[in-house]
Structure 1
Amino acid sequence: MIALEKSHKIAKHFINTVGHTPLVELGNIFNKPGVKVFGKLELANPSGSVKDRTAMNILREAIATGEIQPGDTIIESSSGNMALGLAQACLYYKLQLVVVVDPHINQHTEKLLRTYGAKIVQVKSPNENGGYLGARLKKVQQLLLDIPNSYWSNQYGNPNNPLAHHDTMTEIMEALNYKVDYLFIAVSTCGTIMGCADYIEKNNINTRIIAVDAIGSVLFGGSPGERIIPGHGASVPSQFLDSSKLWDHVEVSDLDCVLGCWSLLKKEGILCGGSTGGVVSAIQKYEYHLPDNSNCVLLLCDRGDRYLDTIYNREWLLKKIAGVKNHLNPIGGW
């Protein structure tokens, strides 16, 4: 068991609490003897996800270069977590925020965004080729023309997205004395995974990165299809992805994400969101390919409380996720 030193420092501002998240050994959920799996508790960030790092780094750098000023409007397309990270940061930096969403946004996230003061613009239907993401990005471009002093934070192409995760990797490597054999990361914009990959390449580290993608995503050349669980996968290609820097990729279904979430909750007591559940299921599928004495790390990307009406709700699961009853009956309070 890795014992992390407790910090007793007092943060001057909330932005100083982004990052430096704990690493926890997951000793109950995986089955292969001799393989250790550690979770990076990104859900401990102030708005509850790894996207706090991305949002803060993008805004901080844009302010430093003079691209945005207090009172300006930030515009972003987001399925939830990036929007929440931006919402808290915009309040601190005295910026306005407009978030472009689609019908898949869950009600809890929408309530949080409105509480933070974000304006929400929803697209109603997907583009023929780019799906809902394509429709959201088209709306972003329209809003940039319509709103004076507006700035697109652009989590899909801003280089300060992957750069934010050099710090993530530094924290992981220092906690495990640079002994990380495999790193499993859910992909969507691919900013997180490529930031980690760039750090590994730059520092000549032998860590092998496994991308976890959604069935129905086009990131690795698959055919576009319906995806119910948000937060991973994409309907348009990534501007960041360089698959030559990755060791492998695993595809997971919506059901896999649900199973992983409930397994993590019941066996480790950790309530996480859907993309993390997908990574848990991916490791369970992959673990017998892992050599003995391997150290593996995954990001526990976000808190699960915003999924109480979906992934952790019996009626929603039975309605939306095919085959769930045969796998998860009974669970929780069912």
Structure 2
Amino acid sequence: MTVISVPMDYNAEDLYVDLRPIVGQGLFLKCEGFNFAGSIKLKAAREMVEAAERKGVLKPGSILVESSSGNLGVALSILAASKGYGFLCVTDARCNLSARRFMEAMGSQVHIIAEPAANGGLLGARIAHVQALCASDDRYVWLNQYTNVNNWKAHYRTTAPAIAHHFPRLDVLFIGAGTTGTLMGCARYFRERHRQVKVVAVDSVGSVTFGGEPGRRMIPGLGTSVRPGLLDESFVDEVVRVEEADTIRACHRLARRGFLFGGSTGTVVSGATEWLARHEAHDYTAVAIAPDLGERYLDTIYQTNWLHALYGEEVLSPDILAADVRTA
């Protein structure tokens, strides 16, 4: 029996799904969404908040403020409610409505940025708004997930060792790239301790994280319009970029087998299966990290009208899904 007194104390660290029957590749999916925040972001949020408390930056009366596309905001709203801080999340219209309502239910405020910055897009505009808030009132405390080393330290300390424990002969690890906290924490850990493990970053097409031209991205989570300050590409062996239509198809393939995952997870699974097929890695031991679950995407990725309006009616056509299954 597990008994907790604060919501941060529960996280299902050791749950994996064997995806071979679904995707036709040897791939284990580490599920990080089974906690009260519904995503892997609870780990980074806790590490950053507790580090700020130890330094005396966070104190009674402080108001946390953070730019987030959704999941970190949800995690911080839980921590703020549990610890008695205020919280204000700065996001944009891509943030799922359910995530915004979740944060408000926790007593948090949500500011939605509508106009992108000339340089940096919506993310740049969100960060500028956070900076303006902090300049206006010294009660605001910005943890800054994009540059805060405790973001990656959370995964260096927890996520990576847990994977290494269960897969001592791991060949390749697939990690989605958003702020790159999960990516950098795990990559640093395996580079130091298990150099044989290949770390493959999975990014969204249209993201500038690893260079390239910015493009339309409608699914929140992975990808950025501003290169993350935490990123050190020397720790990354390879990068795979995934089109959003392929993210959607991966999510629906999983859902049709009873697994409802979020957009970030769909991107990682799509990138991982493509990489494994391209490398004919039939004998590899491969793990992918699933950052989120799918309930917050019911009005978007799993909503037919939303999909057809943005990606066309063919995005989930029977022919395309059948081809995906044959390829797998």
TM-score by length of 1: 0.91
CA distance in structure 2 between the partners assigned to 1:273 and 1:199 by the alignment: 26
Deviation at 1:129, TM superposition (A): 1.6
Q: 1:218 aligns with which of 194, 208, 233?
A: 208
Contact in 2 for aligned 1:182/1:294 (Cα 8 Å) = yes
1:103-158 Cα distance to aligned partner (Å, 9 max, x none): 21221111111111111111110011200000000000000012232110111000
1:244-289 Cα distance to aligned partner (Å, 9 max, x none): 211111111110110110111113x211111111111112211121
Residue in structure 2 matched with residue 174 of structure 1 by the alignment? 165
Residue in structure 2 matched with residue 25 of structure 1 by the alignment? 18
Q: 1:13 aligns with which of 6, 11, 16?
A: 6
Q: 1:52 aligns with which of 37, 42, 56?
A: 42
Residue in structure 2 matched with residue 129 of structure 1 by the alignment? 119
Q: 1:239 aligns with which of 229, 236, 248?
A: 229
Q: 1:281 aligns with which of 270, 285, 296?
A: 270
Partner of 1:320: helix, strand, or coil? helix
1:187-241 Cα distance to aligned partner (Å, 9 max, x none): 1111110010111122243211111111111111110111111101110111111
CA distance in structure 2 between the partners assigned to 1:109 and 1:185 by the alignment: 23
218-227 or 204-213, larger mean C-alpha shift: 204-213
CA distance in structure 1 between the partners assigned to 2:232 and 2:242 by the alignment: 20
Q: How does 1:1-334 map to 2 (within 5 A)?
A: 8-18=1-11, 20-32=13-25, 36-166=26-156, 167-176=158-167, 178-267=168-257, 269-288=258-277, 289-322=279-312, 323-326=314-317
Aligned partner letter, 1:57: E
Contact in 1 for aligned 2:177/2:202 (Cα 8 Å) = yes
Contact in 2 for aligned 1:19/1:53 (Cα 8 Å) = no
Aligned partner letter, 1:17: Y
TM-score by length of 2: 0.93
Aligned length: 319
Contact in 2 for aligned 1:21/1:44 (Cα 8 Å) = no
> Structure 1 stretches of 5 or more lacking a match?
1-7
CA distance in structure 2 between the partners assigned to 1:77 and 1:328 by the alignment: 40
Contact in 2 for aligned 1:259/1:328 (Cα 8 Å) = no
CA distance in structure 1 between the partners assigned to 2:54 and 2:32 by the alignment: 25
> Structure 2 stretches of 5 or more lacking a match?
323-328
CA distance in structure 2 between the partners assigned to 1:99 and 1:21 by the alignment: 30
Structure 1 284/204 Cα, relative in aligned 2: closer, same or farther at 3 Å? closer
Deviation at 1:242, TM superposition (A): 1.5
> CA-atom RMSD, angstroms?
1.8
Aligned partner letter, 2:164: M
